[in-house]
Amino acid sequence: MIITRPKTIEEILTMLEKFAPSPICVVGCGICARKIQTGGETQVTSLVDELRSHGLDVLDGKMVKHACSATSWDELSEEVPALAQASALLVLSCGAGVSLLGRISGKPVLPGLDTTSIGGALGDDISEGLCSMCGECDVAIYAGLCPKSGCPKSQVNGPCGGSSDGDCEVGGRKCIWARIFETLDSRGLLALLDDTRPPVCHDRRL
Interacting residues with another protein (CB under 8 A): 152-165, 169-171, 177-178, 181, 193, 196, 198-200, 202
Cα separation, 163 vs 153, whole angstroms? 11
Q: What is the DSSP letter of 167?
A: B
- Closest approach, Cβ 178 to another protein, in A, equals 6
- Complex with another protein: residue 45 or 164, whichever CB lies closer: 164
- Closest approach, Cβ 6 to another protein, in A, equals 20
Determine how many CB atoms are found less than 10 A away from the CB of residue 4: 25
- Complex with another protein: residue 58 or 156, whichever CB lies closer: 156
- Complex with another protein: residue 113 or 181, whichever CB lies closer: 181
Strands 58-64 and 24-29: parallel
- Closest approach, Cβ 156 to another protein, in A, equals 6
Cα separation, 34 vs 1, whole angstroms? 11
- Closest approach, Cβ 135 to another protein, in A, equals 14
- Closest approach, Cβ 180 to another protein, in A, equals 9
Q: What are phi and psi of 3, to 5 degrees?
A: -90, 130
- Closest approach, Cβ 144 to another protein, in A, equals 18
Cα separation, 145 vs 175, whole angstroms? 11
Burial 178-194 (b: 16+ CB within 10 A, else e): bbbbeebeeeeeeeebe
Cα separation, 56 vs 42, whole angstroms? 19
- Complex with another protein: residue 121 or 190, whichever CB lies closer: 190
- Complex with another protein: residue 124 or 195, whichever CB lies closer: 195
Contacts of 166 (CB under 8 A, 6+ apart): 174, 175, 178, 179
- Complex with another protein: residue 21 or 135, whichever CB lies closer: 135
